[in-house]
Amino acid sequence: MCGRFTLTTRDVHDVARTLAAEVDRERAGLYRPRWNVAPTGDHWIVRLDASGKRRMLPARFGLELPGGRLVINARSETAATLPSFSQAFAEGRCLVPADGFYEWEGGRSDRRPLWFHDPSGKLLTFAGLAIENCGALAFVILTTAANDLLRPVHDRMPVLLSLEGAASWLARPDPKLLAPAPEGWLTGREVSSRVNAVANDGPELLEAPAPPRQLKFL
């Protein structure tokens, strides 16, 4: 799954240019780099407007279903046919910019965060679905089967799109685009356990984990 991720680029216009999108001046002022994007928070998506132009705008991460259940991911294999996502799959496809995402290894009492990102630091583009929900725009991230890098940690991963794949995804709902990331697209490393608390959000989260404390005996 993909429940926490990063977008640390300092300038919103750099993100917009990479994705060939436009961002309104008023909305651009809302942007800030993030090291710990979490469900229910606002993030940025790119979608086509009525004229076919790409627009970058904020949206809530997560869809609230009847009964109050929050859903943040949609399985790419079934999203086109599920009542919760079928219309968005046909009409609400979007891009979700990021530059990394977190997964965890270890037991509940020893959760160690891992940060997966492009080896050269380039922007990542998740395939998403945008939906009007509870009077606001919300989005979920599509997931697919994990590739070889992610499989030891989790059996699912976010769908990553190339720039060409991103254009195709916005243009049409092609399930063939929703495949595991090819080898070499990602690398991963362990980062600070401060990631575990959603209230923490700063560049120190990507630092190497602190070494275990040694017990001293008299």
Decide: 169 and 89 in contact? Cβ < 8 Å.
no
CA separation for the pair 180, 187 (Å, rounded) = 14
Structure tokens at 30: 């809302």
Question: Which among 22, 64, 94, 103 is annotated as catalytic?
Answer: 103
Question: Which among 2, 64, 91, 183 is annotated as catalytic?
Answer: 2
Decide: 139 and 130 in contact? Cβ < 8 Å.
yes
**Known catalytic residue at 134:** no
CA separation for the pair 217, 86 (Å, rounded) = 62
Decide: 170 and 95 in contact? Cβ < 8 Å.
yes
CA separation for the pair 45, 209 (Å, rounded) = 31
203, containing H or E segment: none
CA separation for the pair 149, 146 (Å, rounded) = 8
Structure tokens at 42: 């606002």
CA separation for the pair 48, 105 (Å, rounded) = 37
**Known catalytic residue at 91:** no
Residues with a catalytic annotation lie at 2, 103
